[in-house]
Amino acid sequence: MNKSLLLTVCCLIFTAGLTHAQQVREITLQEAIDIALENNFQLKQAENNLDLAEMRITSETADFLPSISSSARYSTQTGQQFVQETLSFTDLTSTSGSAGLNASIPIFNGFNNILTLRSSKASKLSSEETLKRAKENVIFNTATRYLTVLLNKQQLEDAKDNLETSLKLLEQTKAQVEVGSRPAVDQYNQEAQVADNEFTVTSQENQLRSNKLILVRTLQIDPLVEYEFVVPDFDPESAKSSTKMAQNVRGLVEEAMMNRGDVLSSEFDIESLEYQLKIAKGNLLPTLTGNASLSSSYSDQATILTGRDPITNEPIFEKVNFSDQFFDQRVNKSIGLSLSLPIFNNWNRMVQIESAKVNLKNAELGLENTKLQVIQEITQALNDYASFSAQLTAAEKSLIASQKAFETQQERYNVGASTLIELSQAQTQFFNAQSSRTRALYNLIFQEKLLDFYLGKLSDNSIEF
């Protein structure tokens, strides 16, 4: 391969790699939400807690069944041991073993099993609502950061349009200065205006990059890839004509109390703690347990008297084999009831009862605080929604008026009836009106989603505008 061909191949490989590196991945709002729901670690933790709550229910249900255990023992003993045949102690090595099977079942334990199962079921419901609210948080936070990026993109477009207008005006002013129809100071003033507009564009570009990185971090995706976030179809008239403002606070609060996962989770926590208090009180009651056991043992020194020597009249012993010992002679069976009555346990049970009462009171106070917070959030959100709606209406009127004023000043400037300062002021007012309208639109859209979040209506893994 000659050098020119090798150089061509290297250039092609480099170009292909550069093209691949510059590929842009487009992400829609719904795709962003799906990615966030899949990657968010807090959501995964909530799902793990729900799995654990389900396992607790299985465990508490199994507590109604008997507890069965088995045991086995094998030992070798060397030293002085009593020998039945000689009725004396002798140095020897013996082996022995035993095995047993035990079962017990609670008959009455202060309703502990029933109350614990109910407490676990309430805890599971609480975990489900916590997971639901965690999803709503992920959806809302993702949508908020996504809207922030879109707002920055629109503000950057407005700044670029304003810069383009200033550049065109600078070219026009330069031409007029060259022919002597405008003073040189107009050109300097316009150059300063262009520099100021360029600074605004640079600032908006930096803000957009910063908020893109925040969104990428929220989605937990590769930050080295270039992403383009697609602008959804916004309908300002739909946002302004929303029926949310027509609803009263009381009706929205009632809706939130029925929907919000944090409120419902707190209610289920209180239910679980109520059962925990009953369990603590139940520990003062007696417990009745049924027991049964089966055991057997074996020793290689075990003997049985088989007769006497006809001459000496001494007893004759015969060792018993393993089968006869373990499966017949040494088998023990038992069945019975065990009653336990608590009398004094160093005040531990009373402390448990008081601790359960305090936990319950604290949970009830927490629920009341959450409800007050819901009322405050919805009231403030409705007030802000009405304010942003009015701001959008005013901003649109201001945009129409400032656009007409700028066009009029442009025409007057072209015929020499207006100064550059007047035209620059009209241009600035037009740009400010564009920015105000953009901010008002996105603020209204954000506020509508914020109100949905406060009402607990973002749990469908999607968001619409």
Q: Domain limits of the chain?
A: 23-69+111-286+346-455, 288-340
- Evaluate if residue 271 carries a pLDDT over 90: yes
Cα distances (Å, whole numbers) of residue 62 to 51, 54, 281: 17, 13, 23
pLDDT of residue 457: 85
Give the model's pLDDT for residue 270: 97
Judged by DSSP in three states, 73 sits in strand
Order of strands, sheet of 332-340, starting from the edge strand that comes earlier in the sequence: 67-83, 88-108, 287-299, 332-340
> What is the DSSP secondary structure assignment for residue 284, as one 8-state letter?
T
| pLDDT at residue number 395 | 92
Q: What is the mean pLDDT of residues 28-46?
A: 91
Q: What average pLDDT score do residues 242-262 get?
A: 80
Confidence of residue 29 (pLDDT cuts 50, 70, 90): confident
pLDDT surpasses 80 at 279: yes
Q: What is the pLDDT of residues 446-465, one digit of tens each?
A: 888 888 899 888 866 666 65
Is the predicted pLDDT of residue 124 greater than 90, yes or no? yes
**Cα 247 off chain centre by:** 31
Residues 6+ apart with CB under 8 A from 150: 229, 231, 442
The tokens describing 218, both together, are 């929220």
Average pLDDT for 271-295: 93
Q: What is the pLDDT of residues 39-60, one digit of tens each?
A: 999 899 999 999 999 999 999 9
Residue range 141-154: mean pLDDT, rounded: 92
pLDDT of residue 244: 58
Average pLDDT over residues 35-39: 92
Q: Cβ distance 253 to 375 under 8 Å?
A: yes
AA letter at 449: K
* SS3 readout for 209-230: HHHHHHHHHHHCCCCCCEEEEC
User: Look-up: residue for tokens 């709550």?
Assistant: 53
At 10, is the pLDDT very low, low, confident or very high (cuts 50, 70, 90)?
A: very low
Q: pLDDT averaged over the chain?
A: 86
In terms of C-beta density within 10 A (0-12 exposed, 13-18 middle, 19 or more buried), how is residue 80 classed?
exposed
The pLDDT confidence band at residue 27, using thresholds 50, 70 and 90, is very high
Q: Tell me the sheet residues that pair with 226.
A: 24
Cα–Cα distance list, 311 to 216, 308, 314, 318, 406 (Å): 103, 9, 8, 18, 141
The length of the chain in residues reads 465
In terms of pLDDT, which residue wins out, 346 or 21?
Answer: 346
Joined together, the tokens standing for residue 134 give: 């965690």
Residue 235: pLDDT above 70? no
pLDDT band (50, 70, 90) for residue 234: low
CA distances from 237 to 234, 392, 465 (A): 9, 10, 11
Sign of dihedral through CA atoms 238, 240, 243, 244?
positive
Fold of 23-69+111-286+346-455: Outer membrane efflux proteins (OEP) (1.20.1600)
Highest mean pLDDT among 166-170, 250-254, 367-371, 379-383: 367-371
SS3 content of the chain, % helix, strand, coil (to 5): 65, 15, 15
Q: What is the mean pLDDT of residues 198-227?
A: 94
